[in-house]
Chain A
Amino acid sequence: MSEKVVNDFSVTIATVNGSGSQTANVTLLRALFKMGIPVSGKNLFPSNIQGLPTWYTIRVSKDGFIARRDEQEVVVTLNPVSFARDLASVQPGGAFFYADDIKLPIARSDISVYPMPVKQMARAANVSPALRDYIANMVYVGILGYMLGIDMETIKQALSFHFKGKAQAIDSNFSTIKAAADWAAQNLKKSDPYSVAQMDSTSGFVMADGNTAAALGAIYGGLQFAAWYPITPASTLAESLNVFLPQLRKTTDGKQTYAVLQAEDELAAVGMAIGAGWGGLRSMTSTSGPGISLMAEYAGLAYYAEVPVVIWDVQRIGPSTGLPTRTAQGDLTEAYFLSHGDKQNIILLPGSVQECFEFGWKALDLAEHLQAPVFVLSDLDLGMNQWMTKPFEYPDTPLERGKVLWEADLKKLNGVWGRYKDSDGDGIPFRTVPGNKHPSAAWFGRGTGHDENARYTEDADTWESNMTRLKKKYDTARTLVPKPVIKVAKGATVGIIAYGSTEPAVEEALALLKQAGGPKTAFLRLRALPFTAEAQDFIKKYERIYIVEANRDGQLRQILSTVLPDQAHKFRSACHSDGLPLTAKWVKETILAQEEK
C-alpha cells in the first residue's frame, strides 16, 4: 500500500436512477461534513424517473477545495450497466467497491477491489420487501463508511436529519449500515491508501442547496407573490417557498401575507408575476432556460412599462431541451438581451449558496427600486446540490420599496405627477399602485408608446426621449447592483474574471497556477450586470484578462467586448461546457496553455 492519503480524494458512487441512492449519498456527504472535513457533493443524474445510470461524486479536501474533480480515487458501483465504465474510471492505486451480484470481469491489478454482498444483506434486513431496494443502498454506506473510517455517529446524525427524527426509519437504515460495517470489518482487508479523519474545518458552516437559499432569501425580502411552472432544475426553488412561507409569513391568526400560484405555463407564470408587480407586490417567478425563452415577450413589457419583477433562472445546459439535468452558464446573453427592441437587463450572479440567499432579497429591492425586471442567474450545480455554506445572514437594510406615491403623497403634490417623468434625474420615475384612492392616482399601463403621463403617443421625440431615460435608468442600476469581489496577488499582471458556481474551481486553479509557477493573478468574481465602475477599472488594469465560463461561446466575453470594445483585445476565453461543473485542473491548464502561446 502506498503512502496514506487522508481527507484529500474523490469518491464516485454509481447507481440506478430512482433506486433511492440519493438518501445514501447525501448521508455520506453529511457525515463527512459533520466530521469537520470540507466536502462537496454533486449529483450527476439523468433526465429520467427510474432506470438510467446515475452518479454521485463526493470530494473531501482538507485544504477546503470543493470543486468537482475528474479524477476518482474511490469508486462504488451497484449498476451492471455502468460497471465497465466505473471500473475504468478508478485512479491507479485507488479503490473499487462493487455489488457482488454483478458477475463481470475485473481486469485491473493496479487498484484495490472490494466486493459487497449488497443483495444478500438487503434481504437479511428486517424491512418489508418494498423497502429492500432502498435499504440496499445503506449497505455501501456501511462498508464505505468502515473502509474509509467515517464516524458511525455522524452517519447516524445524518440519517436522523434526513428522516426528520423518525425513529423507525433511522433505526432500520442504521442497523443495515452497522451490519454492513461489521461485515466489512470481518471480511475485507484494506489495501488502498484512502481514508478520512476528524478535522475542525466545517464549524461555522451549514449545508444547504442554492434553490432553498434563494427561496428563503426571497421570503426575508418580503416576497408577496410568486408564480411558477415546474421545470428542472428550478422546481425546488418554488417548492421551497411552499415549505417555508407558511412557517415564516403567516400572521398570528393564520392568515397569509403572500400567495404562490402554479401557473399553466411559463408565459403565464411571468405574466402573473408582472401583474402582481404592477399591483405593488414584491413579486417573482423561477424557471430555467426553456422557461426564460418563453418569458421573452413579457420581459420586454416589464422593461418598457417599468414593472418590478424578479426572474430566477436556474440554468441547465441548452440550447433547446438540452440536457435538463446537467449544468451550464449558457443563458447569460439571453437574459441580458431578453426580448425584442433596444434594452439591456439587470442580472445578478450569485456565486455561492449564501449569496443565493442574499440575492434572494436584494433582487426584490433592486426590482422595486429600479421598476424593472431583475434576473438572477443561478444554475443546476448551485441550485440543486448540497453545499457547505456560511449560515444565512439577516438582511442588513430595510425593504427598499422604491418611489411609490400613496394618497398622502399625492395630496402634498396637489395630484400633479407624471408616471414616466424623470423628476429626480436618475431615470427612475414615480409610480402609484391600484387601490390608491386619490383621484389623480390612476394611470394606464401599456407596452405601447407613451408620454410622461402614460398616455399613448406615436410622437417621435417622445419615443426617443423615453428610451434615453430608460438608458439613464440602467446607468443608475450600475451604481446599485452588487459590486464584484476582487482578490489581487502582489505584482499581478493577469486578470481572471469568473462568475456564479465556477468560483470554487477558479479559486483552486489560482492555487494550482501559483504552484505551477504560472502568472501572478488578480481574480474578479463578477456579481452583477450592468458592469460597475470597479469591474471596468479592473479590466483596464491588467495586460490579459481570462474570462472563465461554463458555456461554449464565452458569453460574458461577448458582452464585455461590446461594452468595452477598446479593451476587447485583452480578453481570452476559458470557456467549456459539457454539462458538468468545471474542474480546477481544466481552468489551470486552459490558462497555462494560452499563457505559453
Chain B
Amino acid sequence: MTTPAPVQTNKAGLSKNDYRGLPSTLCQGCGHNSIANQIITVCYDLNIVPEEIMKFSGIGCSSKSPAYFLNRSFGFNGLHGRMSSLATGALFADTTLRAIGISGDGDTASIGMGGFKHMVRRNAPIVYIVENNGVYGLTKGQFSATAEVGLNLKHQGTNQYMPVDICMEALASNATFVARSFAGDAKQVKELLKAALSHHGVAVLDIISPCVTFNNQEDATHSYTWGKDHEAPLHEISFIPALDEIELQGEFAEGTVREVSMHDGSTVLLKKLEKDYDPTSRANAFQMLESTQLNNWLVTGLLYIDESKPTLTETFNLVDTPLNRLADPDLRPARETIEKINAMMF
C-alpha cells in the first residue's frame, strides 16, 4: 500500500481545490476558461481566503464564468449590463472583502456602458475584468460594440462601425487602474490580476479573450492567431507581494525596471522592453491607445495606474465593523430621539 501524496497547501492552509469552481460549460478553448484558471492560481498564490472575495457578473458567456472559479466565494450573476450597480451596492456590505467582477464586451461596452463608466468614475474597489471577444456568443455570433470595422461574421455581414475601446472609455472616466492583456498570454494575465487585486480602487482589465466558435478567424482582431502575431507588451510585468523582498538583480538590473508601489505595500515591477513606458501618466496612456489604434497593434500591459485616489467606500467614513454585522442598537436611533424629531416638525 502506498500512502497518498500530501495535498499541497498555501499559507492560508488551503489547497488549489479550495479555489476551484464548477466544471466550465463554455466551449473548449474559450479564452474565458483560461482567465478563470488564472484567477484560481492567483488567489491560491496570494493566499487569499475565498470567503473574503465576492464575485459579480452580468449576462453573457463571460458572465457565466464566475461559477467556474472560487466556489467558496459569494457570487451574484445579475442582469445584462448591470453588474456595475449590483456590485456597487454590495461593496458596502462588508468593506473588508475584495471583489472581482467578470463582464464581457457586450455586457460592458453596449448595454452596460453607462453603469460601467459611473462605477469607474466612483473608483469602486473592484477588479473589473472584461473578457473581450468582439462578439455575442450566447446568442450565436452577433457583432459586439468592440468588433473592428470590416469584421465579417457568418450571418451578420460586415461591421460598419468603429469599435469601442474599453481602456479608452475607462481612462476617459478617470479610472485609476487600466490594463489590457490577451488570454493567450497566461503569464501576463496572472501578474496583472495580482496587481489588480492589490489596487486601491477600480482596476479595469480589458482581456482579449478569443471566441473559438464565432470570432476566431485569423485576421479578426480578437482571434488567437492575430493576438499572438500582434501582441506588443509594454513591459514585462511581475508582482511582488507585500512581505516578499525585492531583488533587483540580473534581468531586473537597475535602470531597466520601474517599480510601482501599491497601496497595500506590494510592488509591481515593470521591466522595460523596447521603449520605456510610464504608466502613471494619463496622457501617456491616451497617446499609447491612440497609436495602438492607428498602427493596429495589440498593446498589452499596465496602461495606467494611480494608487492615491480614495475608493468609493472610503468616501463614506463608515464604521469599522462591517455594516452587515451591525445590529439593533447601532441601527435604530435611541427611543428618546423620537421626541426631538417630533419637536423638529412644526
Contacts and interface: CB of A to CB of B under 8 A. Distances in A.
Interface of A: 30, 33, 158, 161, 206-208, 212, 216, 219-222, 224-225, 227, 244, 248-249, 251, 254-259, 261, 263-265, 267-283, 297-298, 301, 305, 386, 391-395, 398-399, 432-439, 441-448, 455-456
For B55, B78, B85, the residue with the greatest tally of chain A CB atoms inside 10 Å of its CB is B85
Interface string B209-238: 000000000000000000000000000000
B51 A278 contact: no
Contacts of B76: 275, 278, 305, 444-446
Interface stretch (B32-40, B66-74, B141-149): B66-74
A434 B115 contact: no
Interface in B118-174: 118
A277 B89 CA distance: 8
Nearest to A263: B85
17 contacts: A225-B323, A249-B331, A257-B319, A268-B82, A272-B86, A275-B91, A297-B82, A301-B78, A386-B346, A391-B338, A391-B345, A435-B94, A441-B51, A443-B74, A445-B74, A448-B77, A456-B67
Contact of B90 (A275, A437, A456): A275
B89 A276 contact: yes
A444 B77 CA distance: 7
Interface string B296-327: 00000000000000000100111110111111
B324 A279 contact: yes
B166 to A, nearest CB: 18
B108 interface: no
B241 interface: no
B319 A256 contact: yes
Given A399-B331, A434-B97, A444-B76, A255 B90 contact: no
B88 A433 contact: no
Residue from A207, A255, A438 whose CB has the most chain B CB atoms within 10 Å: A255
B49 interface: yes
Contacts of A263: 85, 118
A30 to B, nearest CB: 5
A272 B331 contact: no
A259 B316 contact: yes
Contact of A442 (B74, B82, B115, B324): B74
B90 to A, nearest CB: 4
Contacts of A281: 89, 92-93, 323-324
B82 A298 contact: yes
Given A276-B90, A277-B89, A301-B79, A435 B338 contact: no
B333 interface: yes
Nearest to B313: A259
Given A259-B92, A278-B76, A392 B338 contact: yes
B338 A393 contact: yes
A341 B73 CA distance: 29
A443 B55 CA distance: 11
A158 B330 contact: no
Contacts of A158: 346
Contacts of A298: 79, 82
A158 B345 CA distance: 11
Contacts of B55: 444
A221 B71 CA distance: 34
Contact of B92 (A251, A274, A279, A394): A279
Given A257-B323, A437-B52, 19 more contacts: A206-B346, A224-B331, A255-B317, A257-B331, A259-B313, A272-B88, A276-B89, A280-B93, A281-B89, A281-B323, A392-B338, A395-B332, A399-B332, A434-B97, A435-B51, A441-B74, A444-B74, A444-B76, A445-B74
